[in-house]
Structure 1
Amino acid sequence: MVPIGVLATRPHRILLATDLTSRCDRAFDRATLLAREWEAQLHVLHAIESEPPAAPMGVDPESYARTHPDPVPAAHRALKRLVGDASAAYCHVETCTAAKAILAIAASEACDLIVLGESRVQLVGPVESTLEQVVRKAPVSTLIVRSRPQGEYRRVIVGTDFTDEARQALAWSAKCFRHAWIRLVHASWVSSAGWLDSTTAVADDSEQKLARLRAQLDESELADRTPPIEAHVEVGHPAAVLRRCAESIGADLVVIGAYERSMLFNTVVGNMRSIVRGTSGDILVVRAARDRM
């Protein structure tokens, strides 16, 4: 098992991906807040997914170039305007798909955290959006920003299914959001919950899991954390439970842990994908480190 102290380190380099439209403004504001809070280096990326067409036959190339300028210099200027006072930010423009650009820059610049806004276009079915590709493939944690930042994250929900990924997500959250009030939430979900949800069996199972959560906290390095971590168990599908819990306490962030997954696993099992899609506010997917022992 990977020691908690090895995992719980604050990011040193943050990568913000932007399409230079207003829907990424909240993600930019959050990324700059986190960079200041953690004294981290900020990288800002824009991907140009299609190159400008070549001059048609019979059209003067110079005249065509004036009316169809190279988008790369324009994108660099736009990024410089965007970062403004964050003059220490590093700007990157890549000519490839957004997902490929994000993964490449995150690797080449050794970024610890990727910050993304969310497109208004919501895909359904097995097709992956850029956001979903990055969440599934990135070797580092990914923060999806949906809400307007109101300062530091203060009320955080961390989902747990008793796996090592969940344990790492809790350790990361406690370290990086040290002043936040954290509720550790387990969704007590079984396929037969539809007909058992009012029975003693489900209540007993929930009580046992709550006791297990509290015991894990008592035995962990986080037992003496201030403010203390609260354990909570609720019956239901993980996506629905996390959303309800976040709304009930006014949480400004939901955190889950996950290893890198294949697209088949993500499509068939789908818990991570359903949680990302089903959460209305900001969500952080902590990329868990696998034990190599």
Structure 2
Amino acid sequence: MPRQAMEKAPWEGGLPRLILLATDLSCRCDRALDRAVLLAQQWRAKLLVVHVLEGTEPRDPPPLDLARRQVEADLEGRSVEWELALERGEPAEAILRQAQAQGAGLIVTGVARRDPLGESTLGAIVEQLAKQAPIPLLAVKGRARRPYARLVVATDFSEPSRHAIACARALLPDTEMALFHAYRLPFEGFIGKDGNESELRAMAEGEAAAFLKAEPSSPPLRMEYGWPESALSAHVRKEAIELAMLGTQGRTGLKGFLVGSVAKRLMACLPCDVLVVRGPEAG
């Protein structure tokens, strides 16, 4: 589903009035449901629960009745306005179709599974949504015990990461925000980092200063030498970060941070929830 041209980013019109929860109605989506409900209450938004039917799912009793009973049971006692929508077809396309038709401002989903070591498997549907959704996508991994208290925005000092900062300010103004940048030497195994790390850090600091100069209020920035996946994951664990925000369509080439496979790996390896924010179309 191609992204439609928009004059403004989705969050610039204010807090979302509709949150879309994409669910297969299994227990692996319970955490996503809890977080979606908490955000709906926090923003006074309506919850649209979307379930895409597989071709083999039973039709007697009607799938809508089965799904409604389960959603009613899951949401019993929770003060949130909700609606259920059932779709058939390719899941990512069906979810995006509902998001566009209903005017959703956020898509919330779970991850496919977590292995015994705690690593998550995104699944093809989440990957497709991350690539195609014109609105922010929240992949939930942790338990939603309270509103987000601390978040980190991964930045490569590009416009997409600036979009992510603006989104964080708009959607979660009361959440403590920090920035994180990872830098490393290309072909380190052949060149060796010892004689170059200080120079690389100086270059990164120069880029950071230029980037933050345009920010109305500069969040604290942490910079670490290393691969983005391992450096940011370690930071998230050490600082008990609950949410990481990624701006997609960052720079290309050796210095690129949030481009394609890197963003995908970050979504999979980070131990916290991940909010993916689509930046401006690459020129």
User: TM-score, with normalisation over the residues of structure 1?
Assistant: 0.79
Q: CA deviation at 1:288?
A: 1.9
- Bigger shift: residues 86-95 or 19-28: 86-95
Are 1:76 and 2:76 an aligned pair? no
Match of 1:201 among 176, 188, 196: 196
5+ residue gaps, structure 1: 54-64, 224-228, 261-267
Are 1:281 and 2:272 an aligned pair? yes
Give the Cα–Cα distance (whole angstroms) in 1 for the partners of residues 10 and 105 of structure 2.
16
Name the larger-Rg structure.
1
Secondary structure, counterpart of 1:73 in structure 2 = helix
Residues 150-192 of structure 1: CA deviation (Å, up to 9, x unaligned): 2111111111111110110011112322222222111103322
> Which residue is equivalent to 2:54?
49
Aligned residues with identical type, % of pairs? 29
Tell me if the contact between 1:196 and 1:202 (Cα under 8 Å) persists in the aligned partners.
Answer: no
Give the Cα–Cα distance (whole angstroms) in 1 for the partners of residues 272 and 202 of structure 2.
28
Secondary structure, counterpart of 1:35 in structure 2 = helix
> Which residue is equivalent to 1:98?
91
| Structure 2 counterparts to residues 193-272 of structure 1, below 5 A | 193-194=188-189, 198-223=193-218, 229-259=219-249, 269-272=260-263
Secondary structure, counterpart of 1:284 in structure 2 = strand
Residues 237-280 of structure 1: CA deviation (Å, up to 9, x unaligned): 222222111112110011101149xxxxxxx9511111111112
> Which residue is equivalent to 2:140?
145
Give the Cα–Cα distance (whole angstroms) in 2 for the partners of residues 141 and 95 of structure 1.
23
RMSD across aligned C-alpha pairs, in angstroms? 2.9
Residues 125-147 of structure 1: CA deviation (Å, up to 9, x unaligned): xx961111111111111000010
Give the Cα–Cα distance (whole angstroms) in 1 for the partners of residues 152 and 82 of structure 2.
30
Pair 1:200–1:252, CA change in 2 (3 A): same
Tell me if the contact between 1:8 and 1:176 (Cα under 8 Å) persists in the aligned partners.
Answer: no
Give the Cα–Cα distance (whole angstroms) in 2 for the partners of residues 4 and 214 of structure 1.
25
> Which residue is equivalent to 2:4?
none
Are 1:25 and 2:16 an aligned pair? no
Pair 1:112–1:197, CA change in 2 (3 A): farther
Secondary structure, counterpart of 2:160 in structure 1 = helix
Give the Cα–Cα distance (whole angstroms) in 1 for the partners of residues 11 and 137 of structure 2.
19
Figure out how many residues of one structure are paired with residues of the other and give that number.
262
Match of 2:185 among 170, 174, 190: 190
Amino acid at match of 1:141: P
Give the Cα–Cα distance (whole angstroms) in 2 for the partners of residues 147 and 287 of structure 1.
22
Q: CA deviation at 1:73?
A: 2.2
Pair 1:89–1:233, CA change in 2 (3 A): same
Q: CA deviation at 1:200?
A: 3.8
Are 1:15 and 2:10 an aligned pair? no
Secondary structure, counterpart of 2:70 in structure 1 = helix
> Which residue is equivalent to 2:106?
113
Tell me if the contact between 1:155 and 1:253 (Cα under 8 Å) persists in the aligned partners.
Answer: yes
User: TM-score, with normalisation over the residues of structure 2?
Assistant: 0.82
Q: CA deviation at 1:69?
A: 3.4
5+ residue gaps, structure 2: 1-6, 116-121, 251-258
Q: CA deviation at 1:18?
A: 1.3
> Which residue is equivalent to 2:3?
none
Q: CA deviation at 1:52?
A: 5.0
- Bigger shift: residues 175-184 or 139-148: 175-184
Residues 61-84 of structure 1: CA deviation (Å, up to 9, x unaligned): xxxx8xx53323212222233233
